[in-house]
């Protein structure tokens, strides 16, 4: 298997077959394994995908035959003899670019990224990807994906923020999320993602998720109830039991509190409802709340808290204030 994986001619031919959607199931497994071995291999695949994108764009503007170009490159790759010096990927990509330049009747080979970028402001938003996967975005979150070619690669990038992903079963490539230094690969599941300036977190609700450092190759497998944390300062990756009971409250407005200090409760509510909540009176800081809450409005949640802790809630402009009766 290792000898096969290092045979560039065959691997490049498999990539072309994959992009042309003529690859056999057996070869597809081999290619998927090769792509997962290293970040360099995945970059090689993306380089070929970029060529295919530009070929398609050129074909839209002329009578250029896309299939003929890939067949030409394919035949060149497979015709290399074993005793000839190894030629770098850069040269073979140059060959593809040259074919484009000659056959496109004067069109230049330019990169036309076909990415869809979605950003939320103050409100959460649900997005359905081309394969049917549902991504719920929290406030202040951005994602990026190739709208046109997504089903060929099923690659989503979380630029920043938080998202809950419900992956649909699909016969195509494995769904994966790019998170900077780490990748999260799905094995039929739903999971929550958080990416900020200090860390990257993956919390699995159902199924399994592989979380892998793209440079070192370090990998952890997460199952339901587990959290994977990548520390951006120390560059460390670890798995643990998920202690964040309300990690999904921003989406479903479900809260579970057990002897939770009121300041911690209000801090979570502020983040979910994007509203300032303050305490008037030092005595409330020591009070603890035990409750399961499932309400759509912040007013309903605060009404329950006020009744449970024997305090009152008032609103001053855009701020809610909890104080002693």
Q: At what angle do helices 25-37 and 8-19 cross, to 10 degrees?
A: 120
pLDDT digits 0-9 by tens, 249-276: 999 999 999 999 999 999 999 999 989 9
Q: What is the pLDDT of residue 89?
A: 53
Burial of 113 (0-12, 13-18, 19+ CB in 10 A): exposed
User: Domain ranges in the chain?
Assistant: 2-103, 115-241, 253-324
4 to 16, 34, 225, 238: CA distances (angstroms): 16, 10, 38, 33
pLDDT digits 0-9 by tens, 126-142: 999 998 999 999 998 99
Mean pLDDT of 42-56: 71
Token duo for residue 176: 């994966």
Right CATH for 253-324 from 3.40.50.720, 3.55.50.30, 3.30.1370.160, 1.10.3720.10: 3.55.50.30
Q: What is the pLDDT of residue 152?
A: 83
Residues in the chain: 325
Q: In terms of DSSP bridges, do strands 319-324 and 276-280 run parallel, antiparallel, or are they unpaired? A: parallel
Token duo for residue 38: 């290293």
pLDDT digits 0-9 by tens, 207-223: 999 999 988 889 999 99
Q: How far apart are CA 20 and CA 268, in angstroms?
A: 49
70, 19 contact by CB (below 8 A): yes
Residue 105 in this model has a pLDDT that exceeds 50:
no
Where is pLDDT greater, at 82 or 42?
Answer: 42
Q: What is the pTM of this model?
A: 0.64
Token duo for residue 51: 């060529």
Q: What is the pLDDT of residue 57?
A: 53
166, 185 contact by CB (below 8 A): no
21, 101 contact by CB (below 8 A): no
pLDDT digits 0-9 by tens, 280-289: 988 899 999 9
134, 128 contact by CB (below 8 A): yes
CATH number 2.60.120.1440 is the correct assignment for the domain at 115-241: yes
| Closest among 131, 247, 245, 139 to 193, alpha carbons compared | 247
178, 155 contact by CB (below 8 A): yes
């Amino acid at each position: 298997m290792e000898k096969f994986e290092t045979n560039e001619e065959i691997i490049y031919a498999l990539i072309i077959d994959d992009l042309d959607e003529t690859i056999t199931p057996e070869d597809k497994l081999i290619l998927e394994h090769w792509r997962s071995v290293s970040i360099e291999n995945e970059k090689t695949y993306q380089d070929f995908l970029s060529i295919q994108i530009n070929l398609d764009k050129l074909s839209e503007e002329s009578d250029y035959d896309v299939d003929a170009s890939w067949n030409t490159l394919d035949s060149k790759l497979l015709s290399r003899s074993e005793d000839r010096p190894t030629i770098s990927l850069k040269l073979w990509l140059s060959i593809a670019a040259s074919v484009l330049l000659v056959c496109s009747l004067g069109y230049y080979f330019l990169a036309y990224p076909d990415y869809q970028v979605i950003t939320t402001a103050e409100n959460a938003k649900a997005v359905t990807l081309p394969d049917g996967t549902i991504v719920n975005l929290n406030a202040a979150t951005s994602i990026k994906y190739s709208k046109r070619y997504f089903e060929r690669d099923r690659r989503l990038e979380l630029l920043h923020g938080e998202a809950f992903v419900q992956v649909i079963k699909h016969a195509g490539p494995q769904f994966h999320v790019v998170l900077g230094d780490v990748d999260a690969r799905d094995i039929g599941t739903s999971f929550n993602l958080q990416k900020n300036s200090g860390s990257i977190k993956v919390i699995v609700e159902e199924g399994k998720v592989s979380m892998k450092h793209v440079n070192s190759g370090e990998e952890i497998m997460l199952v339901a109830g587990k959290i994977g944390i990548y520390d951006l300062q120390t560059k460390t990756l670890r798995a643990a039991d998920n202690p964040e009971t309300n990690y999904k409250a921003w989406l479903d407005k479900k809260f579970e509190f057990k002897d939770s200090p009121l300041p911690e409760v209000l801090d979570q509510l502020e983040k979910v409802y994007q509203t300032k909540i303050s305490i008037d009176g030092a005595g409330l800081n020591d009070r603890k709340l035990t409750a399961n809450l499932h309400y759509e409005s912040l007013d309903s949640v605060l009404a329950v808290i006020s009744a449970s802790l024997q305090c009152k809630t008032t609103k001053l402009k855009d701020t809610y204030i909890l104080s002693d009766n």
